[in-house]
Structure 1
Amino acid sequence: MVAASAEARIRETGLVLPPPPTPFGAYVEAVQVGSLLFLSGMLPVVGHTPLYIGRVGSGLSVGDGYDAAKAACLSGLSAARAHLGSLDRIRTVAKLGVYIAASDDFREHPKVADGASELLLSVFGQSRLPPRIVLGVSSIPLGMPLEVELVLDINP
């Protein structure tokens, strides 16, 4: 049995990708080097409008952080699709990084990062679930609660 393509899984799950993100400064959203596509850090925004502002564990709940991670990851998929033409060109997600602006005593980083991981699982399946790094940081640009980093291995 052939696994469903990423584009088919998006349709089947009812996920809606936001418009591709545009830079907030002097950089590009995606650069391809060989078979790797490196995406800029993705924020939980639609257009340039933040969906969440603040720190997880201090004003924002774990659930808010989870939803913000999912939203940022959706923006990453939208950027990838804009660059590649189709998410079906992605062989695997080579790396997922989730950087969370959190209070000093916050300890639930993995639960927040699962917003991005579980989204990738639903789109690409278990066999393409990436390794990840999850870090707590003191701040994220523009006061947002987190930033998601993706590196994708792609077909030519």
Structure 2
Amino acid sequence: MTGARAGEGMPLPQGLYRPAVRHGTLIFTAGMTPRLDGVLKYVGPVTADANPLDWRDAVVLACRNALSAAQGQLAAGERLSGVLSLTVYIAAEAGFAAHSQLADFASEFLQSELGAAGIGSRAAVGVATLPGNAPVEIQLIASI
């Protein structure tokens, strides 16, 4: 990794991949789950009757990991100029319908960290399972 922030809070890969890859002025992150020091802190699935607020911390941690991975690709003096795309995968039981509310927690976090540049296009996708039984996985595409 290059950059002033490389290694600082960097998410640990759980397989044979890099947390983020830079191509020119674009950074693509791997899908990030709510892990801290490699340990999954929240497990899913999100139940059909779940209160979205109960999953806020999990979403924010996964998003923090994605942002950290992206920032780890920055060289000294560089900054992210914007989030181009945010994809939020949610392991949810059939009947759960608040995907957008969970994704809003990620958008709010990115906006708090990057201002208006933290808001880009977004997809919130419900899936049957995620790696390690994580409740959420987040992927970012950002520009420098």
Q: TM range, normalised to the smaller chain?
A: 0.7 to 0.9
Match of 1:99 among 75, 83, 89: 89
Name the CA shift for 1:22/1:104 in 2 (closer, same or farther; >3 Å): same
Letter in 1 for 2:46: V
SS in structure 2 of the partner of residue 120 of structure 1? helix
More helix by share: 1
Verify the 8 A CA contact 1:77 1:87 in the aligned structure 2: no
Verify the 8 A CA contact 1:66 1:111 in the aligned structure 2: no
1:82 aligns with 2:82: no
Aligned residues: 137
Q: Percent identity?
A: 37
Q: Distance in 1 between matches of 2:27 and 2:114?
A: 16
Moved over 6 A (4+): none
Q: Distance in 2 between matches of 1:97 and 1:87?
A: 27
Taking the TM superposition and a 5 Å limit, the aligned residue runs for 1:1-156 are: 19-57=9-47, 61-85=51-75, 89-154=79-144
Could you report, residue by residue, the CA deviation over 1:8-64 in whole angstroms, capped at 9, with x for unpaired residues?
A: xxxxxxxxxx82101101111111112110000011010111110111125964123
TM-score (norm 2): 0.86
Verify the 8 A CA contact 2:11 2:19 in the aligned structure 1: yes
Q: Shift of residue 81 of structure 1? A: 2.4
Output the aligned Cα RMSD: 2.0
Verify the 8 A CA contact 1:57 1:106 in the aligned structure 2: yes
Q: Distance in 1 between matches of 2:84 and 2:140?
A: 8
Verify the 8 A CA contact 2:67 2:140 in the aligned structure 1: no
Q: Which runs of 5+ in 2 are unaligned?
A: 1-7
TM-score (norm 1): 0.80
